[in-house]
Structure 1
Amino acid sequence: MRKIFLLLCALVCMVSAYAQNSLKVRVKDKQNNTALADATILVKGTNIILKSAADGTANLNNISNGLQTILIRNVGFEEQKLMLTFPFTQNEAIEILMEPAEDELEEVIVSSTRTSRSIQNTPTRVETIELEEIDEKSNMRPANVSMILHESTGIAVQQTSATSANASIRIQGLDGRYTQLLKDGYASFGNFASGLSILEIPPLDLAQVEIIKGPSSTLFGAGAIAGVVNFISRVPREKADLSFILNQSNVGQTNIGAFSMQRGKKFGYSLLALANFQKAYDVDKDDFTELPKTNDFTIHPKVFIYPSERTMITIGNAFTKSDRTGGDIFVINKGINAEHQYFETNNSTRNTSTLDFSYKTAEKDLLKIKTSFNYFKRGISIPDYKFNGVNYNSYTDFSYLKTLKNQSLIFGGNLVYDKFSEQNQEPVLKKDFTTRTAGAYAQHTWDLSEKLKLESGLRADFVNYFNASYRQNEVFILPRVSALYKFDDHWSSRIGGGLGYKTPTLFTEQTETFQYQNLLPLNHVKAERSFGGTADVNYKTAISDDWMLSFNQMFFFTRINNSTILLQDNDGNFSFGNTREPVRSLGFETNAKLIFHEHFKLFAGYTFTDAKANYLPVIQTIRLLPKNKLNLALLYEKESNFKMGLEGYFTDRQYLYNNQQTNAFWEFGFMAEKVFGKISIFINAENFTDTRQSRYKSVVNGSNLTPTFDDIWTHTEGRTFNGGIKLKL
């Protein structure tokens, strides 16, 4: 009997030790007492983890007896911790009040789809580069946004000039003219105004960069065949924000910038001012610059007016002046003589005035009217040739967003006027061109269930474009559809596709390389048309308390019909014409992110791109396009204290326009930043292994008097070291 009694006691103890308990919590925002959905609740040291529901509640089961630590996390809020001893008796849910994090991180809201949804609930696939990464890349290159985009999977910043260092953006292997660049939703960087655009967009006032890959013409019209890159500016808050940056590099670049913003009850403001100075730099001592002598200045004030809680008016004006001189370094430093005469100057003035009016007709309904006027003037000079042109662009858009219980509908229209005028040119070569567009669009987003969300849209554009040689009217009907399916808390998938178009333009990556010399006006060239889509699978999970893993696999396809190609006649003149042979790009992108204890972050991205132009003879692969690219980055960060990172990038072989293949290459970078209160000091070593094109073959051919230049396929300036100071008040 005694043995049986002891055995029963042991069994009771064992059952008690391994008893399973439940816990119910409700997560709320402490500031406004509203429920927080998708907050992460986990039991430390176990695999018990789940997300809060729409009403903020979560039920945790299978919790063992004893003292347990419950962690509650949500983006933009401080982590909360509960210490509870189980068994635990509760009659109602424990209320968890989340306090906003000091760094004011917020849930990622995308504006490029016009619905202002969180990125997790947007059927259209949108990639975001957030403020933290923008701030990090600004340390590397405060002058412009090229570094932000260069290191993104599936995007390439293609240098188009050996002496001026001008560049364009390629998405999924397609030429830069197929990517639409926006600043706060304004299309001010198209056609001739795309010249020097990447070099004239500063990153200091950016809050977020949104990237939509694949045809996006339904909401954005012409030029969004490969995708859209939208640079989103910061908006003022009640707490004043004032920051300064001073940067110096070993290649002779100096950057001095400031950004300030604050909101009052009825008025707010933001102000960006940036000056960049670059000395002429010749790294390989061949007498020709890899980096031109440059003086840039940008000032961008914005005024925010709040007549009521429902109304906001924003008035802004961005002005940029840039002077760049490259070529023979002796000419730049000492002037022309008998042996040194080649130079290339680029002088540009860009001014963009904007006006936004927003009115909330209901809690979630929004009427929005926005208009802009853009003036861009650029002059190019080389020996015995000058090019001068002015581009005028006006853009007006009006839209209304109606939000229902499980649906949102946005409809609107826009008017676009774009005119280019060349100055001081003989009539036969005068490149004047005007495009006028009137469009109407509608988009419907429908949450069919918690798992399935659909988005469909339709645009109709009437386009009239003309010059002295011809006039063309075209109508484009552009449908687009996308879907998001959430399998569970870990797996989700998006698929989408649509049509697109691009009106004719003389200003492409190829024509930029010869400064538009002997380029004939457009004549009977029609718009290019496209169709394509993307599909992806996402996975994210907490491996344990300290490890987080996310993974994305995306596939893409785009086909361009009626594409325009550059032709050369027997007299050496260049012209554009349409071809029946298509251009198509297909491939996939793989992205993975591993986070350890919120301090160590490992990023890996791989891009495979197979892009071909059927009109090309012999080798149809699109030029200056690597089939394989690999991005690797390891970052250590201790919040508001210290960060450092190591990056590595592999680029596969590329075909040049002469059908030769380049070498594959690696490049590596290192950065570090230390924060001392309101002051931070940063250093950066970009391409510290000194990968550059002149190590394989001289970029410059011929004599100093009549040089020619190879296609640019990798770094020309070699390694770059820079460091500086930032002050945030």
Structure 2
Amino acid sequence: MQKIILLLCTFFCVASACAQNSLKISVKNKVDKTILSNATVLIKGTNLLAKTSANGTASFGNIPDGNQIIIIRNVGFQEQRLPLTFPLNEVKTYEVFLEPAEDELEEVIVSSTRTSRSIQNTPTRVETIELEEIDEKSNMRPANVSMILHESTGIAVQQTSATSANASIRIQGLDGRYTQLLKDGYASFGNFASGLSILEIPPLDLAQVEIIKGPSSTLYGAGAIAGVVNFISRTPREKADFNFILNQSNVGQTNIGAFSMQRKGKWGYSLLALTNFQKAYDVDKDDFTELPKTDDFTVHPKLFYYPNEKTTLIIGNAFTKSNRTGGDIFVINDGADANHRYFESNKSLRNTSTLDFSYKVNASNLLKIKTSFNYFKRDIAIPDYTFNGINYNAYTDISYLKNIKNQSLIFGLNIVYDKFAEQDQLPNLAKNFTTRTAGLYAQQTWDLSDRFKLESGIRLDLVNYFNTLYRKNEAFVLPRISALYKINDHWSSRIGGGLGYKTPTLFTEQTETFQYQNLLPLNNVKAEKSYGGTADINYKTSLGADWLISLNQMFFYTRINNSTILLQDNSGSFHFENTPQPVQSRGFETNAKIIFKEYFKLFAGYTFTDAKADYLPVIQNIRLLPKNKLNLALLYEKERNFKLGLEGYFTDRQYLYNNQLTSAFWEFGFMAEKVFGKISVFINAENFTDTRQSRYKSVVNGSHLNPNFDDIWTHTEGRTFNGGIKLKL
């Protein structure tokens, strides 16, 4: 009998202990107290793991006695640890508040769609390059943004000159003139001012880069056929911010830059200053530069005024001066003689003044006025030929954002004045051209439900363009629509399309290669017109407590009608004409991101592009365009400690203008950065396998006195090593 009583007591004690050794946890966002579903809760040292449900709770049973550490994790939030001793003294639901990770305290907000919505709730497909990645790529190229864009899926930085290293941006295989570059929404890089543009945009003051692929003319007017790249500057906060960078490379480049910003009460400021020096660099010892001798300087101050909580006024002025000289290295170092005379000189001066006024009419409505004036002067010189021009651009945009229940409405108008004037040229040969545009636009973003969101817009542009030879007036009606459907917590899809147009221009990748020599003024050339769209599907999930996986599959199509083509007559002069035969670009992009414990990050991107011009004889593939391109990057990072990165890029064969096919090639890069408090030291090995065009064939042909150059289809400078220090206060 005593044994039976002892057995029953033991049973009830065990049952009582198991009943006590259960746990219920509620997980919430510390900032806004909202529940967090799908957060991971685990008990350290055991196999007990659970995900919070739709109401933000997770439950456990059969927890061992003793001291236990409860670990709560969620992507974008700081890990929380809760020590508890079992059996518990009382049965209750434990509330845990997760604090957003410092790098993600602010939700990713996109401004390029004009609604300033979070990226998760924007129907238009927008890709963002955030501050962390910008900071990493700045280590590789502190002078300009070329590296930031070069390594993005579906985007190519196309070098246009063998000696001066000039480059343009191509999206989805289309020429650079179909991509619109913006800085804080200002279109200051069009027409002649597109020359050297990406080489004159420093990344040091950038907070974010936003990319919209596909026709975007409804939002931004002419030139946004292939897409829009919007470089978003940082804005001051109460806490002062100072960044300094010093960089040196083995190819003779030195970069010294600083960025500072702070807000105090009603006033704030930001200031960017950067200077770059590049020695003439000849890697293959053929006496011609792969990198030109360069010195340039940029200063960009901004003044912020907040007279009250509703009003913001921003005044800025960006000034850049650049001097680049490439060609025969003997001419650059010692001057011309009987055997050496070829050079290519580019001198440019860019000044952009901006004014941005915002007024919150009430808690949800916003009046915004933006205006800018851009002055761009560029002098190009080669032996026996010079080209000098000035481009003036004035831009004003007035918009009103009205938010009502489940909807955001935008109404706006803008006026653009663009004038190019060639200097020191006969009146009948001057490439002068003026474009005046007045546009009205409207856009509606409608949250039909939590899962389905629709964005539609329409634009009317009245365009007048002319020179001494002809004048045309055209009207463009540009509708656009896009939709976002959140299938469930893991799957979502976006689809969108619209019309676009591009006003005539002489300044393209092709004409840049021969410095506009023997190029006739535009005559009876009309605007190009396009239609197209993109569709994608996105999948995100977490596996266990440590893995986060994100996949995106996007398809695109663009057709350009009435496209302009460059022709050469019997006298050797070049001119542009419209052709009834279209240009079509179709393909897809595949992106994958895998994150393990927030330390290891693997990125993979694949682009297939089939772009053809029907007017091309025999081979209709667009030139200098690989059909297949693969981007791979592996990053290991301990926050505020160190980071290591390894990158690999595959580029498929490309057709040249002489109809020959290039070789496919790989390139690899490595980077490392170590943080010592407020100072960090970095090193980079870009293209350390030394992939370069001269390894396949000499880029320079002919004699030193009269050289000609092959099309540029890969690196010319070869491997590059650089290192430096950064200071952040």
Match of 2:288 in 1: 288
Report the alpha carbon displacement of residue 629 of structure 1 after superposing the two structures with TM. 0.4
Report the alpha carbon displacement of residue 337 of structure 1 after superposing the two structures with TM. 0.3
Per-residue Cα deviation, 1:429-455 (whole angstroms, up to 9, x for no partner): 210000111111111111111111111
* Native 8 Å contact 1:38 1:74 kept in 2: no
**1:144 counterpart = 2:122:** no
> Which secondary structure does the structure 1 equivalent of 2:147 belong to?
helix
* Native 8 Å contact 1:46 1:544 kept in 2: no
Report the alpha carbon displacement of residue 405 of structure 1 after superposing the two structures with TM. 2.5
Find the aligned partners of 1:504 and 1:19 in 2 and give their Cα distance.
Answer: 78
Report the alpha carbon displacement of residue 42 of structure 1 after superposing the two structures with TM. 1.5
**Aligned ranges for residues 516-535 of structure 1 at < 5 Å?**
516-535=516-535
Find the aligned partners of 1:18 and 1:628 in 2 and give their Cα distance.
Answer: 60
Distance change (3 Å), C-alpha of 1:40 and 1:397: farther
The one-letter code matched in structure 2 to 1:471 is R
**Aligned ranges for residues 320-399 of structure 1 at < 5 Å?**
320-399=320-399
Match of 2:606 in 1: 606
Across the aligned residues of Structure 1 and Structure 2, the Cα RMSD in angstroms comes to 2.4
Find the aligned partners of 1:720 and 1:136 in 2 and give their Cα distance.
Answer: 16
Report the alpha carbon displacement of residue 402 of structure 1 after superposing the two structures with TM. 1.1
Find the aligned partners of 2:684 and 2:587 in 1 and give their Cα distance.
Answer: 33
* Native 8 Å contact 2:215 2:532 kept in 1: yes
**Aligned ranges for residues 266-665 of structure 1 at < 5 Å?**
266-665=266-665
Find the aligned partners of 2:17 and 2:92 in 1 and give their Cα distance.
Answer: 24
> Which secondary structure does the structure 2 equivalent of 1:48 belong to?
strand
Match of 1:42 among 33, 40, 49: 40
Distance change (3 Å), C-alpha of 1:581 and 1:271: same
The one-letter code matched in structure 1 to 2:633 is A
> Which secondary structure does the structure 2 equivalent of 1:232 belong to?
strand
Which piece of structure 1 moves more, 85-94 or 492-501?
85-94
Distance change (3 Å), C-alpha of 1:465 and 1:683: same
Report the alpha carbon displacement of residue 72 of structure 1 after superposing the two structures with TM. 4.2
Distance change (3 Å), C-alpha of 1:447 and 1:48: farther
> Which secondary structure does the structure 1 equivalent of 2:445 belong to?
strand
Report the alpha carbon displacement of residue 124 of structure 1 after superposing the two structures with TM. 0.6
* Native 8 Å contact 1:373 1:394 kept in 2: yes
Find the aligned partners of 2:718 and 2:15 in 1 and give their Cα distance.
Answer: 68
Find the aligned partners of 2:12 and 2:631 in 1 and give their Cα distance.
Answer: 56
The one-letter code matched in structure 2 to 1:425 is Q
* Native 8 Å contact 1:178 1:225 kept in 2: yes
Report the alpha carbon displacement of residue 89 of structure 1 after superposing the two structures with TM. 10
The one-letter code matched in structure 1 to 2:645 is G
**Structure 1 residue runs without a partner (length 5+):** none
The one-letter code matched in structure 2 to 1:168 is S
Report the alpha carbon displacement of residue 85 of structure 1 after superposing the two structures with TM. 7.5
Match of 1:73 in 2: 74
* Native 8 Å contact 2:27 2:39 kept in 1: no
Report the alpha carbon displacement of residue 41 of structure 1 after superposing the two structures with TM. 1.7
Find the aligned partners of 1:212 and 1:8 in 2 and give their Cα distance.
Answer: 70
Report the alpha carbon displacement of residue 60 of structure 1 after superposing the two structures with TM. 3.2
* Native 8 Å contact 1:445 1:453 kept in 2: yes
Match of 2:156 in 1: 156
Which piece of structure 1 moves more, 326-335 or 93-102?
93-102
Find the aligned partners of 2:247 and 2:624 in 1 and give their Cα distance.
Answer: 32
Per-residue Cα deviation, 1:467-517 (whole angstroms, up to 9, x for no partner): 111111111111111111111111111111111111110000000000000
Task: List structure 1 segments (4+ residues) > 6 angstroms apart after TM superposition.
Answer: 5-22, 85-93
* Native 8 Å contact 2:289 2:329 kept in 1: yes
Per-residue Cα deviation, 1:310-338 (whole angstroms, up to 9, x for no partner): 11100000000000000000000000100
Per-residue Cα deviation, 1:329-350 (whole angstroms, up to 9, x for no partner): 0000000100000001000000
Find the aligned partners of 1:22 and 1:586 in 2 and give their Cα distance.
Answer: 54
Find the aligned partners of 2:610 and 2:414 in 1 and give their Cα distance.
Answer: 35
Report the alpha carbon displacement of residue 15 of structure 1 after superposing the two structures with TM. 13
Distance change (3 Å), C-alpha of 1:442 and 1:256: same
Per-residue Cα deviation, 1:160-210 (whole angstroms, up to 9, x for no partner): 000110000000000000000000000000110000001000000000000
Match of 1:708 in 2: 708
Find the aligned partners of 2:434 and 2:294 in 1 and give their Cα distance.
Answer: 31
Report the alpha carbon displacement of residue 361 of structure 1 after superposing the two structures with TM. 1.3
Q: TM-score, normalised by structure 1?
A: 0.95
Which piece of structure 1 moves more, 201-210 or 20-29?
20-29
* Native 8 Å contact 2:389 2:421 kept in 1: yes
Report the alpha carbon displacement of residue 88 of structure 1 after superposing the two structures with TM. 8.1
Report the alpha carbon displacement of residue 105 of structure 1 after superposing the two structures with TM. 4.5
* Native 8 Å contact 1:26 1:95 kept in 2: yes
* Native 8 Å contact 2:361 2:367 kept in 1: yes
The one-letter code matched in structure 2 to 1:121 is N
* Native 8 Å contact 2:37 2:56 kept in 1: no
Report the alpha carbon displacement of residue 726 of structure 1 after superposing the two structures with TM. 0.6
Match of 2:688 in 1: 688
The one-letter code matched in structure 2 to 1:25 is S
Report the alpha carbon displacement of residue 38 of structure 1 after superposing the two structures with TM. 5.7
Find the aligned partners of 1:11 and 1:353 in 2 and give their Cα distance.
Answer: 81
Find the aligned partners of 1:280 and 1:219 in 2 and give their Cα distance.
Answer: 42
Distance change (3 Å), C-alpha of 1:124 and 1:536: same
Match of 2:56 in 1: 58
> Which secondary structure does the structure 1 equivalent of 2:26 belong to?
strand
The one-letter code matched in structure 2 to 1:127 is E
Report the alpha carbon displacement of residue 403 of structure 1 after superposing the two structures with TM. 1.3
Find the aligned partners of 1:92 and 1:449 in 2 and give their Cα distance.
Answer: 35
Match of 2:125 in 1: 125
The one-letter code matched in structure 1 to 2:682 is F
Find the aligned partners of 1:425 and 1:196 in 2 and give their Cα distance.
Answer: 22
The one-letter code matched in structure 2 to 1:198 is I
The one-letter code matched in structure 2 to 1:60 is A
Distance change (3 Å), C-alpha of 1:18 and 1:292: farther
* Native 8 Å contact 2:24 2:92 kept in 1: no
Find the aligned partners of 2:585 and 2:416 in 1 and give their Cα distance.
Answer: 29
Report the alpha carbon displacement of residue 101 of structure 1 after superposing the two structures with TM. 4.0
Find the aligned partners of 1:479 and 1:711 in 2 and give their Cα distance.
Answer: 38
Distance change (3 Å), C-alpha of 1:331 and 1:576: same
Find the aligned partners of 1:285 and 1:627 in 2 and give their Cα distance.
Answer: 32
Distance change (3 Å), C-alpha of 1:288 and 1:26: same
Distance change (3 Å), C-alpha of 1:18 and 1:364: same
> Which secondary structure does the structure 1 equivalent of 2:124 belong to?
coil
Find the aligned partners of 2:56 and 2:239 in 1 and give their Cα distance.
Answer: 34
Find the aligned partners of 2:87 and 2:490 in 1 and give their Cα distance.
Answer: 30
Per-residue Cα deviation, 1:285-328 (whole angstroms, up to 9, x for no partner): 11100000000100000000000011110000000000000000
Per-residue Cα deviation, 1:406-440 (whole angstroms, up to 9, x for no partner): 11111111110000000011223210000111111
* Native 8 Å contact 1:409 1:444 kept in 2: yes
Match of 1:252 in 2: 252
Find the aligned partners of 2:527 and 2:658 in 1 and give their Cα distance.
Answer: 28
Identical-residue share of aligned pairs (%)? 76
Which piece of structure 1 moves more, 643-652 or 93-102?
93-102
Match of 1:168 in 2: 168
Distance change (3 Å), C-alpha of 1:329 and 1:311: same
Distance change (3 Å), C-alpha of 1:406 and 1:19: farther
Report the alpha carbon displacement of residue 95 of structure 1 after superposing the two structures with TM. 4.3
* Native 8 Å contact 2:28 2:36 kept in 1: no
**Structure 2 residue runs without a partner (length 5+):** none
**Aligned ranges for residues 150-229 of structure 1 at < 5 Å?**
150-229=150-229
Distance change (3 Å), C-alpha of 1:119 and 1:86: farther
Report the alpha carbon displacement of residue 39 of structure 1 after superposing the two structures with TM. 6.6
Match of 1:25 in 2: 26
> Which secondary structure does the structure 2 equivalent of 1:644 belong to?
strand
Aligned residues: 720
Find the aligned partners of 1:481 and 1:360 in 2 and give their Cα distance.
Answer: 27
